[in-house]
Amino acid sequence: MDQPDPSVFLTRAYWDERYGDKPVWSGNPNTQLVHHVADLPPGTALDVGSGEGGDAVWLAARGWRVTGADISEVALRRSAEAAERAGLAERLTWRQADLLTWTPPPAAFDLVTAFFVHLPGAARAALLRRLAAAVRPGGTLLFVAHHPADLEVEGLRPPMPEMFATGEELAELLDPEAWTITTAAPDRPGEDKDGNPVTLHDAVLRAVRT
């Protein structure tokens, strides 16, 4: 398989077309969000790459005040509609943002999350550092991506290894003196391109600013 150009996946046009005119995701929160955040006291949260708003709405329902940021206006409209249906619109703010360049306000959030935001290595590192800077002292950064091991499942992920990193590789971008860091590679059931069951892995970085 020829390697696609990573820049194709980084544009607003691509994601607006990807979301199209019908929902793409289930609307349920990501498993790792529930696992790592359910016991945190609510505060202010930033959900980066918020998609159709499933994670952001779940956080708002638990008492958080949430900003959801995504490049796709289509996804953001769908998110706002989901928030309205849940009666939580007043707890949520939606922002169209290009994650290659956008810088969130510094030390502004008790929780910053990013789920399955895949960028090439240098852009990923720059984004992670900007997101880390947005976390208040005592706050949590939760960055979850598809694990590089998933590339071994034929046809499942685009053949672009530079878009994937382990939790340990992500952790190297943070100052261990400033953060309490944990990483993990939990597995979960999935399907390959032919619908056969496979085991997938997530790359999880959870860091608490000291």
Can you read off the two tokens belonging to residue 18? 């990807």
Q: pTM of the predicted model, to two decimals?
A: 0.93
Enumerate residue ranges in the chain where pLDDT < 50. 1
Which pLDDT score is estimated for 70? 97
Q: What is the pLDDT of residue 26?
A: 76
Digit-coded pLDDT (tens) for 140-181: 999 999 999 999 988 788 888 999 999 999 999 999 999 999
Distance from C-alpha of 159 to C-alpha of 89, rounded to nearest angstrom:
39
The domains of the chain, with CATH numbers, are 6-209 (3.40.50.150)
Predicted confidence at residue 140, as pLDDT, reads: 98
pLDDT of residue 40: 98
pLDDT at 202: 97
